[in-house]
Chain A
């Protein structure tokens, strides 16, 4: 019998698989398809203070082994999340959920978290300082150690819940940004968000995405994600939540060996709606194949010493 349990900031998870924000809605779309209580957890749709429709369409472009999205943080706003989405979520998911929060100012991040903080469904906050799709917000805060730390401090002041900062790969020195977030009070680092990318239509000779660029995700980005998880694991002593191109149980183990305590599954959910369940079902087989009795022992296993 293999042991898939992991612990994140003192909260026990049945397994390290967490559905990534923006690919799992507020849970109930997937709860119609399977019992999502098999998940370790999931990170709900990026939530902002005010409702957002997001960017114009087309918002989606296919790439080799991946996709670009420029959804642009479409969400109903924090008040509707509290009054409508969380009550629906509670009916289909019994475990602590990850609250993914975005903002356009440091005050907005803090205010959104302050309002969400009393919600008992929320186990962790995941602060998105890395959305490439919202002008003037998101990624702007995650590209320097100073601004990332400022957001971290502001949110730290309004919640005692475990606080993750979700980092952008579109930077030159991810380790210094992660270290700054840790010093400012973060309880974990999650990474990577999408890589800024684009496609061009040969017929129209224009970008496929209405907003010109978008976030590149999918299996193609896994090597970049592994490298950055590996670097951040060496730079901080708080847990790392790894994501980027994870689509199989083998990918989960690989991400843990790079340094992840838990692993998020994103774009794979959009191709196979049962991806998270299938990965969790397949983990025991992969653990046995590689002689792993306790999955949590794998975290950081690829590092020397």
Chain B
């Protein structure tokens, strides 16, 4: 974990309530896709934990949604302003196994951390495919970014207003895969758990106090005992999870 002051390079609206923010600063503490950063905002007591969309040697990229006063304040920040950020938090997705055709399953804003994961899997010579699910066409984000990676991407919407009508799990049967990585809401996870025939990893979300393992606010019970979503997670192996 690294605490530092990061400069906003970009803070752009992607649709009605989703934004992409690019921050310049020390990224050495980021070791895996699926990790998150924790942002301090003026006027708010707790930090805002947000997973990384992508990073390079000098910048971090996040996709966030305005869901309350804190993220609404974030949306009003301008390039050039600085933020106090805890960087490189949590254990991200584990890659490097012997799977060849991993399937990335993203629901809503859960698609964001799968982008850097797809890049990492491609760099390992694997052949990832992605299914990105949203409620409606207006919610779709990051689709072009995934398509630009040159991997097979399927878009689903619950109301059929874009891509194929239905849920991520409806499209799963049509994709040949030997592993999965999932990030999204709990109902999607439960549906995947019923559908999936391979091993995989889930990235969880929980209300956090600190984001770095001190407060025990985000604990969950796994088959190997109590785990902190912010510290041992947010990614957990399918086999570890108690549903």
Contact = CB atoms under 8 A, between A and B. Distances in A.
Contacts of A218: 45
Interface stretch (A101-109, A159-167, A187-195, A265-273): A265-273
A301 interface: no
Given A61-B207, A74-B226, A53 B221 contact: yes
A71 B214 contact: no
Given A33-B1, A60-B207, A273 B216 contact: no
Interface string B204-243: 0011111011111111110000100001000000000000
Interface residues of B, number: 26
A65 interface: yes
Contact of A57 (B3, B45, B214, B218): B218
Interface residues of A, number: 35
A67 B207 CA distance: 12
B208 A60 contact: yes
A54 interface: yes
A69 B208 CA distance: 10
A25 B219 contact: no
A23 interface: yes
A171 interface: no
B206 A58 contact: yes
Interface in A1-40: 22-25, 29-30, 32-33
A206 to B, nearest CB: 14
A13 to B, nearest CB: 22
A59 B220 CA distance: 11
Given A62-B45, A66-B45, A22 B215 contact: yes
B46 interface: yes
Nearest to A266: B215
A302 interface: no
Interface string B1-39: 101000000000000000000000000000000000000
Interface string A177-204: 0000000000000000000000000000
Contacts of A64: 45
Nearest to A22: B215
- Of listed A54, A62, A74, A269, residue having the most chain B CB within 10 A: A62
B210 A71 contact: no
Contacts of B218: 57, 59-60
A63 interface: yes
B165 interface: no
Contacts of B46: 60, 62, 67, 270-271
B217 A60 contact: yes
A273 B3 CA distance: 9
Interface string B76-106: 0000000000100000000000000000000
A166 B144 CA distance: 56
B126 interface: no
Contacts of B212: 29, 273
Given A22-B215, A29-B214, A273 B86 contact: yes
Contacts of B214: 23-25, 29-30, 269-270, 273
Contacts of A57: 206-207, 217-220
B215 A71 contact: yes
A29 B216 contact: no
Contacts of A274: 3
B213 A29 contact: yes
Contacts of B231: 29
A57 B216 CA distance: 10
Nearest to B219: A74
B47 to A, nearest CB: 7
A155 to B, nearest CB: 24
Contacts of B220: 57
Contacts of A66: 45
B45 A71 contact: no
B184 to A, nearest CB: 18
A276 to B, nearest CB: 12
B207 A54 contact: no
A272 to B, nearest CB: 8
Interface string A45-58: 10000000110011
A273 B210 contact: yes
- A-B pairs with lowest CB-CB distance, top 7: A270-B210, A60-B217, A58-B207, A60-B209, A60-B207, A74-B216, A62-B46
Given A53-B221, A60-B215, A62-B45, 13 more contacts: A25-B216, A29-B212, A53-B226, A57-B217, A57-B219, A59-B209, A60-B209, A66-B45, A69-B217, A71-B216, A74-B226, A219-B45, A271-B45
17 contacts: A22-B215, A33-B1, A53-B221, A57-B206, A57-B207, A58-B207, A59-B207, A59-B216, A59-B219, A60-B207, A62-B45, A62-B46, A64-B45, A67-B46, A71-B217, A208-B207, A269-B214
